[in-house]
C-alpha cells in the first residue's frame, strides 16, 4: 500500500500549487477541468479512508472554482479539516499566506 504521509504531502503540494496558479478569471473549460480533477479524487485517491473523508467533505462543501482566490481558500479549508482530524496545526487561509507558501515563497 502507498505511504499515506508521503502521498499526502505530494498530493497537497500538487493541489495547492495548481490552485495558486489557477487563473483569476478561469474560462468555463478551465473551471470544468478543475471540477473534474477534484471530483475524481474521492474515487481514485489511493488511500481509501482519506478518499471517503474527502468525498463527504466535498458533499457538504462543494468546490469553488470561480477564481484562483476562491479555489485556494476552498482547498486550504479542506486541508485544515484533515489537519484538525490528525491533530495538526491549522493553516492561515488568507491569500497572502497561501501565496507565500505555494506561489511566491521558497520551494521545498
Distances (CA, A) of 43 to 31, 54, 82, 92: 19, 10, 18, 28
* Binding status of residue 54 toward ligand FAD by CB under 6 A: yes
Whole-angstrom distance, CA of residue 108 vs CA of residue 93: 19
4 binds ligand FAD (CB under 6 A): yes
103 near ligand FAD, rule: CB under 6 A? no
Q: How many residues does the chain have?
A: 108
Q: How far is the CB of 24 from ligand FAD (least distance, A)?
A: 19
| Dihedral sign computed on CA atoms, order 23, 27, 29, 35 | positive
Q: Determine if 12 is a binding residue for ligand FAD (CB under 6 A).
A: yes
Q: Report if residue 17 touches ligand FAD, rule: CB under 6 A.
A: no
Residue from 3, 5, 100, 104 that binds ligand FAD (CB under 6 A)? 5
Neighbours of 59 (CB within 10 A): 9
Under the binding rule (CB under 6 A), the answer on residue 76 touching ligand FAD is yes
Which one of residues 17, 82, 95, 99 is an interface residue with ligand FAD (CB under 6 A)? 82
Amino acid at each position: 500500500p502507498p505511504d499515506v504521509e508521503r502521498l499526502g504531502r505530494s498530493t497537497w503540494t500538487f493541489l495547492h500549487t495548481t490552485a495558486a496558479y489557477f487563473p483569476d478569471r478561469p474560462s468555463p473549460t478551465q473551471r470544468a477541468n478543475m471540477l473534474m480533477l477534484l471530483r475524481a479524487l474521492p474515487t481514485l485517491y489511493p488511500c481509501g479512508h482519506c478518499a471517503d473523508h474527502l468525498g463527504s467533505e466535498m458533499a457538504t462543501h462543494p468546490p469553488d472554482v470561480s477564481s484562483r482566490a476562491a479555489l485556494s481558500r476552498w482547498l486550504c479549508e479542506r486541508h485544515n479539516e484533515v489537519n484538525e482530524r490528525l491533530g495538526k496545526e491549522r493553516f492561515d487561509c488568507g491569500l497572502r499566506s497561501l501565496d507565500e507558501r505555494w506561489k511566491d515563497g521558497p520551494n521545498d
